[in-house]
Amino acid sequence: MINSVLKTVCKNGITYFIFPRWEKYTFIGHGFSSRLGGVSEGSFASLNLSHRVGDFPGAVNENLKRFLGIWEQTTGSLVCGEQVHGTSVFSVEENVTCNDSSGKGRVIPAVDALVTAVPGVVLGALSADCLISFFLDPLTPAIGLAHAGWRGTCSGILAGVVDSMRHYFGSKIDQLEVYLSPCIRECCYEVGEEVLNFCAVSPWRKDIVFIPGITPGRPFLDLQKTNFNILQGLGIRAEKIYRSGYCTCCNQHLFYSYRGAKGSPTGRQMGIFFLR
C-alpha cells in the first residue's frame, strides 16, 4: 500500500481533495470534499452534502451545487447508493442526465457501491468516518465507488465491486487501482463486542487488523489496513493501492466525523468519481 498525501485544492471558495497519482488520467474526474466552503450552519457547518442528516434542504442544495459545479456537473447526472452498510453493488448502465427537482440526484435503494463504464455518470458516496474506496480500471476504462465501515468491509463489499467490474466490464484484476479516502483511522476507531463478534465469523477475518487498546475487549480497528489486506487478497497489486493520511475524527476542522460528533447531528462529505 502506498501512502499518498492528498492534494488540497481551493476553488470557488470550496476546499476539496484530489488524488495525486490519478492527476495523469485526464479521462476521469474525481474529488473528495472537506467541510469547508458551504452554507450550512451549526453542527452541519459548512459544506454538508447529505439530505438525510436533518440539515436544511436549501443549504444542502446550494452546497451540492457548489461542489459539483467545480467539475461543471449538477445533481442531474449524480447517482448515489442509499448506503445501508450492506454489500450490494449496482451497475449504472445509462447516463440519464435530468433536470433533478429533488436536488438529491438518483439514489439507488439498498446499495452501497456503484460501478459504471458510461461517461458522464457521476458516482457519489457520502461518509462521516466510513471509508470511500475509488476503483479505477484505466484501460477499459471503468470505475467503481464503494462506501464501507466495519460492517460493509467485513461482509465483503470490496469483493462485490471487483466481481462486478470483472463481470460487467471485463476488467482485469491486475490492472485495477484503488484509492482509499480519508476515514476514521486506527488512532480513534475503538470497537467493542458487536464488531468483534461480527468480525470473528467474517470470511475475511484473517485480513482484519485490530490494534490492542488500554481497555480489555476494546481494541482499535485499522479500517484502511483491513481494506488493503482484503484488496490484496482479491489479487489487486499492493503498489496500486493508495491511501490518504487523514483521520476524519482527528481532523474535524476539515471533515465531518460521526464518532467525533459524539451523538450530535453532523454532516457528510462526499466522494465523486466519473468518466469524462
Binding site for Zn ion (CB under 5 A): 185, 187-188, 247, 249-250
Cβ atoms 65, 47 nearer than 8 A: no
What is the nearest approach in angstroms of Zn ion to the Cβ of residue 222? 11
Give dist(CA 251, CA 140) in Å, integer: 36
Identify the H or E element spanning 32: strand 28-33
Instruction: Enter the DSSP assignment of 70.
Output: T
Q: For Zn ion, which is the closer residue by CB, 84 or 188?
A: 188
CB of 231 or CB of 249, closer to Zn ion: 249
Q: Which is nearer to Zn ion, 34 or 87 (CB)?
A: 34
- For residues 100 and 194, the answer to whether their CB atoms sit within 8 Å is no
Least distance (Å) between residue 131 CB and Zn ion: 13
Measured from the CB of residue 215, what is the shortest distance to Zn ion in angstroms?
Answer: 17
Return the number of the residue (64 or 183) whose C-beta is nearest Zn ion: 183
Q: Which is nearer to Zn ion, 221 or 249 (CB)?
A: 249
**Least spacing, CB of residue 257 vs Zn ion, in Å:** 9
User: To the nearest whole angstrom, how small is the minimum distance from the Cβ of residue 66 to Zn ion?
Assistant: 28
